[in-house]
Amino acid sequence: MKIQSKAVHSGDRGKPATQVPVTTPIYSSSSFIVDTSEELDKILGVEAPGFCYARYDNPTNCALEELVRDLENGAGALACASGMSALQVALTAALLDRRKSIVAADALYGATIKLMMNVLAPFGVEVRFVDICNLQAVERAIAEEKPGCVVMETISNPLLRVGHIARVAEMTRSAGGALLVDNTFATPLMVRPLELGAAMSVHSATKYLAGHGDVLGGLIVSDAGHAPVVKSLSRTYGPVLGPFESYLTMRGIKTFPLRVERQCANACLIAKHLASHPRVSRVHFPGDPHHPDAATVAELFPSGLYGAMVSFELKDAGRPEVFAFMDRLKMVVRATSLGDVHTMALYPVIASHRDLPPKQRQRLGITDGLVRLSVGIEDAQDIIDDLNQALAG
């Protein structure tokens, strides 16, 4: 099946029953009754399929995991309570039996950097940052560090750079490491990292997959080598997603290809408009033919689907000017998230990259005039009109 059909059908109706519901129900029970102690023994020992305790497995969560596994063409999946909890489990799985060393893209979500530097580094994990789009620099860092794990984003947050996943995966495997890709911005509609050699693909389910601003969740899709480790860690850590959130995420995924296609089309129009606006000095968008990673984008992304994130810099603007622009927005939502059906504007300096020192932000190109736009499914002209009136001052 194509991904549009998988989004609608995978996960649901997979369990034998006399009458199978069209949509997977919400199983809110914390434990499950089995017929015999022998059967319970086998389920607890992972010798037979079944359910006994919700920290281990839940039918609603399993349906979501099956759905996302199919979307990414992986071997296994895990639904977690947030994108950051999913990232921590994935990092632990990658480093469990490998050298405690990470080579990470220098352009990452601020909380991801904070997790590695403030949580993992104090436990002895070495972290080295590198420009993931500079393949020579990546090759040199991997050769010198021989990392257990390499971390990158399909589309970087917030400057929307695109690294060559297949080449980075090849280098990582040659050094005995595992490539972990945050695929939140691209979604499986555009890029499926495991098909390009990644060991694990991580999503904030809060964003495009659930897509309606009503779920907090995370997902890991693993290859065959890491799926059992991820599941085992989950049983110990217990970072599981609640069944109601799993249900909402499944419901959101059924329409995610339609939503993301519309969002990508809107983003192309808005990026083009902003590029010609006199109040905008620069636009960052993967669909721009002059994008610094245009060749990689052309190789990885389907034509016309370049993601729905657009970042732009207000001309001669600092924090006061950006605040004034943001406060003038009427339809576009000022909120610290992305991927929802509504268009959302975020100021990275005070939100996604707030915890980075100012000098580090400047070095990465995150200026005080940068605004990140998550384009929604509204009429594109309405979005443009709202941006225009806010830019006019």
User: How many structural domains are present in the chain?
Assistant: 2
CB 385 within 8 A of CB 333: no
Whether 207 is catalytic is yes
> N- to C-terminal Cα distance for the chain?
49
What average pLDDT does this structure show over 183-188?
Answer: 98
On the question of pLDDT at 352 being above 80, the answer is no
What average pLDDT does this structure show over 370-392?
Answer: 98
What single-letter DSSP state applies at residue 294?
H
For the segment 199-243, what is each residue's pLDDT rounded down to a tens digit? 999 999 999 999 999 999 999 999 999 999 999 999 999 999 999
106 or 17, which is more confident: 106
Last residue of a domain, one of 190, 222, 253: 253
On the question of pLDDT at 17 being above 80, the answer is no
Q: Is residue 125 located within the same domain as residue 158?
A: yes
**pLDDT > 70 fraction of the chain, expressed in percent and rounded:** 98
Whether 55 is catalytic is yes
For the segment 20-45, what is each residue's pLDDT rounded down to a tens digit? 788 899 999 999 998 999 988 888 88
Catalytic residue among 109, 208, 247, 306: 109
Q: Is residue 352 located within the same domain as residue 211?
A: no
Confidence of residue 15 (pLDDT cuts 50, 70, 90): low
270/373 Cα distance (integer angstroms)? 10
Angle at 222 between CA 255 and CA 23, to 5 degrees: 35
What average pLDDT does this structure show over 64-72?
Answer: 97
CB 218 within 8 A of CB 81: yes
- Domain with residue 60: its CATH number is 3.40.640.10
Q: How many CA atoms lie within 13 A of 355 on its CB side?
A: 11
227/386 Cα distance (integer angstroms)? 45
- Domain with residue 365: its CATH number is 3.90.1150.10
Contacts of 369 (CB under 8 A, 6+ apart): 281, 313, 314, 315, 316, 317, 318, 321, 322
Q: Is residue 8 located within the same domain as residue 35?
A: yes
Q: Is residue 130 located within the same domain as residue 273?
A: no
Catalytic residue among 207, 231, 279, 372: 207
What's the pLDDT score for residue 121?
97
Q: Is residue 248 located within the same domain as residue 261?
A: no
What average pLDDT does this structure show over 167-191?
Answer: 98
For the segment 87-99, what is each residue's pLDDT rounded down to a tens digit? 999 999 999 999 9
Helix 165-174 with 135-145: angle, nearest 10 deg: 20
Catalytic residue among 42, 55, 114, 167: 55
CB 287 within 8 A of CB 271: yes
For the segment 272-302, what is each residue's pLDDT rounded down to a tens digit? 999 999 999 999 999 999 999 999 999 999 9
Would you call 127 helix, strand, or coil by DSSP?
Answer: strand
230/222 Cα distance (integer angstroms)? 8
284/248 Cα distance (integer angstroms)? 32
73/83 Cα distance (integer angstroms)? 20
Contacts of 64 (CB under 8 A, 6+ apart): 11, 24, 77, 79, 219, 241, 246, 247, 249, 250, 253
Q: Is residue 332 located within the same domain as residue 231?
A: no
Reference 249, options 28, 22, 21, 68; nearest CA is: 68
Whether 97 is catalytic is no
Residue 221 token pair: 């899709």
Q: Is residue 305 located within the same domain as residue 173?
A: no
Q: Per DSSP, what are the bridge partners of residue 374? A: 309, 344
Domain that holds residue 356: 256-392
Confidence of residue 102 (pLDDT cuts 50, 70, 90): very high
93/231 Cα distance (integer angstroms)? 9
Q: Is residue 179 located within the same domain as residue 263?
A: no
Q: Per DSSP, what are the bridge partners of residue 38? A: none
Residue 143 token pair: 């050769």
CB 373 within 8 A of CB 185: no
Q: Report CA dihedral (19, 24, 183, 187) to the nearest 10 degrees.
A: 80
Q: Is residue 260 located within the same domain as residue 195?
A: no
> pTM (2 decimals)?
0.94
Q: Is residue 26 located within the same domain as residue 42?
A: yes
Q: Most confidently modeled of 4-18, 308-322, 361-375? A: 308-322
Q: Is residue 115 located within the same domain as residue 214?
A: yes
What average pLDDT does this structure show over 70-89?
Answer: 98
Whether 288 is catalytic is no
What single-letter DSSP state applies at residue 53?
B
Catalytic residue among 57, 106, 182, 223: 182
For the segment 255-274, what is each residue's pLDDT rounded down to a tens digit? 999 999 999 999 999 999 99
Confidence of residue 19 (pLDDT cuts 50, 70, 90): low
On the question of pLDDT at 371 being above 90, the answer is yes
Q: Is residue 115 located within the same domain as residue 262?
A: no
On the question of pLDDT at 16 being above 60, the answer is no
CB 366 within 8 A of CB 338: no
CB 74 within 8 A of CB 209: no
Contacts of 77 (CB under 8 A, 6+ apart): 64, 65, 66, 68, 69, 219, 220, 221, 222, 227
Last residue of a domain, one of 211, 229, 253: 253
Last residue of a domain, one of 185, 219, 253: 253
Q: Which residues of 39-55 are buried (b: 16+ CB within 10 A; e: fewer)?
A: ebebbeeeeeeebbebe
Angle at 279 between CA 277 and CA 281, to 5 degrees: 85
